[in-house]
Structure 1
Amino acid sequence: MTRFPFLAQRLFNTPLAIHPAKAEVVMGALADRLGITSLFRGGELVSLKPQALEDEEIGGSLPRRRGEDRDTGYDVVSGIAVIRVTGTLVQKLGTLRPYSGMTGYDGIRIALLGALRDPEVQAIVLDIDSPGGEVAGCFDLVDLVYRMRGNKPMWAILDENAFSAAYALASACDRITVPRTGGTGSVGVIGMHVDMSQSLTKAGITVTMIRFGEHKAEGNPYEALSEGALGRMQADIDAMGDLFIETVARNRGLKASMVRGTKAETFLGRTGVDIGFADAVQAPSAAFTELFRSL
């Protein structure tokens, strides 16, 4: 059974915290299957600036820990639990490990709680390389990580990037390291709406929405987006953006006005450290070695 309707439901008419530059990747690859080829002209997106999933297959069959019958969702290296956070972040993936270019908040949560209880684990590393993902489920997980501070050292070691929702998660850790070519930031929220009404009209197709409730089916792709609907969607995006800013400011000990002033900009390596979005510029291996020695 195809998962494209499910994917479309997760992409459109819902707040997303993900790097906008990833948009053309998914939209270009999935336009035909999502039925929105009319949005493209000459292979380029002409009406949207959304975000994207990465296509590569990631993980799914990593080795389990010795002596255990089931996967824990993390690997223990010299007393340090390593939890991989890669690709697009989604609320419910149903796996403990990254899979098919995505990582689930549900899997991260279970792995994190397991590592905190594991007597063999002295510290926890979130090994992050992600453009971000869904808002749904993100901030509850971020709050959990923030509350767990002080139980065991928790470091976010970026390899290479932590943008948007991925940065929200990283910001909750005790320490963030970023490589010279890695990035942090993109503290913002975006949403997408597809208007297929003109395309359907040209194709001789008429869709009639029959409603009970003035706002029922608001934002559907078969009608032009009304001014009122746009305003309500913008209000939701603004509310999620404010939550994002306040969360990062709390986690990193920064002023909310400073975080807001970044205007969802991304920062390369040292620049992210200079503004307080990361603590050190380090290669992932060097950061891991430093954490190990600190134990």
Structure 2
Amino acid sequence: MNGDDDLARLGVVVGGGLLAAVLGIVVFVVVPGSLVDLLGLLLTIGVVLLGTRAAGDFADSAFPDYNVAEVAVEGPITRDGSTPGPIPGGALGATADDVVEGIERADEDDAVDALLVKLDTPGGQVVPSDDIRRAAADFDGPTVAYATDVCASGGYWIASGCDELWARRGSIVGSIGVIGSRVNLADLAEDLGVSYERFAAGKYKDAGMPLKELSEDEREYLQGIIDGFYDDFVERVAEGRDMEPEAVRETEARVYLGDDAHELGLVDSIGTRDDVEDRVEGLLDTEVSVREFESKKGLAARLRGGATAVAYAAGAGVASVLVDDEQDFRLRL
């Protein structure tokens, strides 16, 4: 972007704001008369703000100062940004629909030639994570993911949809596995004199209920669900990372520091954010300027506690909690 474009953008923004101010004064102050001057002034301010924002959006579109888009996936991944389950503090995580919206907006923006995907997440729900992975894979241009603190489970699932994955030496990477869990309260219920009576239609409808012991048949059924998720996870990673499925399975759902993940082929390169930008410049063969693409809905879904995410990844595993209203059986990626 040159100096003439800078002046042009500034002119559009200032001109739009002045035009909005004049229009607001005429419509809300001059025409109605003095009785509504105060209200007119307030409305004028509102019109000025809206007009300036609209002019700014138009200027960004007409005179873009970026050629690379960045989206961030931070905190546990869910559909709406909430974090049900065993995550302490109830911090907000990554809202999958908002991340997908950002990727799709970048893909539709003629100024954007490449996509950066910042990953600092212990994982999350299966389908929302896969939605982000699919959006990244469908992006028309180079896609480079880079891990900061944590890129585990659902985060790694997303990275497998990108052309490359970079990490820091101290990044936590991996956790390619699935765990199922249920609280067994049968003995406690018996001690308290609480009994479980079954009213259900369908043999496995209450499989996983905590107030009863699992039968061998139910245990096999639930293990089959876990095995199915794991097979799909391995297949997605092997395809996206160009690895043999057996090599993926041999990681045994461990998490690795960046250097170790690189040696295993789970990460393409080790480097800083500046190194990642240098790599994108090489891919595009031009100087790059990065703009973050966020959801227009706001920033609330992006708030999260970094320490919570790291503790959750290292301690509890990388979670995607799928809870049937009638059961208490949890699956965690």
**TM-score in terms of structure 2 length:** 0.60
Preserved contact between residue 100 and residue 131 of structure 2 (Cα < 8 Å): no
Match of 1:133 in 2: 124
Question: How far 1:190 moved relative to its partner?
Answer: 1.2
Alpha-carbon shift at residue 118 of structure 1 (Å): 1.4
For 1:206, the equivalent position in structure 2 comes to 195
Q: Tell me the equivalent position of 1:103.
A: 94
Q: What is the match of residue 72 of structure 2?
A: 84
Task: Answer 1 or 2: higher relative contact order, Cα 8 Å, separation at least 6.
Answer: 2
CA contact (8 A) 1:88 1:103 kept: yes
Q: What is the Cα deviation at residue 193 of structure 1?
A: 0.9
- Give the drift of 1:245: 0.8
What residue ranges of structure 2 are gaps of 5+ in the alignment?
A: 1-52, 59-63, 83-89, 285-333
2:328 maps to what in 1? none
Q: What's the counterpart of residue 237 of structure 2?
A: 248
Identity rate, percent: 26
Question: Is 1:116 aligned to 2:104, yes or no?
Answer: no
AA paired with 1:286? Answer: D
CA deviation profile, 1:205-226 (whole Å, cap 9, x unmatched): 3332212222222211221222
Greater fraction strand? 1
Match of residue 150, structure 2, among 136, 153, 161: 161
Mark the CA change 1:66 to 1:245 in structure 2 (over 3 Å): closer, same or farther.
farther
> Distance between the aligned counterparts of 1:65 and 1:153, measured in 2?
30
Which protein shows a greater Rg?
2
Q: Is the 8 A contact 1:161 1:178 kept in 2?
A: no
- How big is the shift at 1:159? 0.7
SS at 1:277's partner residue?
Answer: coil
For the structure 1 residues 230 and 121, does the alpha-carbon distance in structure 2 shift closer, same or farther, using more than 3 Å as the test? same
1:127 partner letter: K
Letter in 1 for 2:137: Y
What residue ranges of structure 1 are gaps of 5+ in the alignment? 1-63, 70-75
Q: Which residue of structure 2 lines up, in the alignment, with residue 230 of structure 1?
A: 219
Q: Does the 8 Å CA contact 1:93/1:107 hold for their aligned counterparts?
A: no
The equivalent of 1:270 in structure 2 is 259
Q: Deviations over 1:77-127 (max 9, x none)?
A: 843222111111124438xxxx93311322222211111111232221111
| C-alpha contact 1:155 1:173 (8 A) present in aligned 2 | yes
> Stretches of 4+ moved more than 4 A in 1?
none
**Distance 1:153-1:214 versus aligned 2 partners, 3 A rule:** same
Contact 1:219 1:225 in 2 (8 A): yes
Is the deviation greater in 114-123 or in 172-181?
114-123
Q: SS of the counterpart of 1:128? A: strand
Structure 1 vs Structure 2 CA RMSD: 2.6
Aligned with 1:191 (options 176, 180, 186): 180
Contact 2:168-2:258 within 8 A present in 1 as well: yes
- Aligned residue in 1 for 2:306: none
The equivalent residue for 1:29 is: none
Aligned residue pairs: how many? 220
What letter corresponds to residue 223 of structure 1 in structure 2?
K
Contact 2:81 2:92 in 1 (8 A): no
Amino acid at match of 2:223: Q
Tell me, in whole angstroms, the C-alpha distance in 2 between the residues paired with 1:65 and 1:292.
31
Contact 1:93 1:106 in 2 (8 A): no
**For 1:130 and 1:158, how far apart are their aligned partners in 2?**
9
d(CA) in 1 for partners of 2:146, 2:65: 14
Mark the CA change 1:160 to 1:292 in structure 2 (over 3 Å): closer, same or farther: farther
Which secondary structure state, in structure 1, belongs to the residue aligned with residue 76 of structure 2? Answer: strand
Separation in 1 of the partners of 2:272 and 2:154? 22
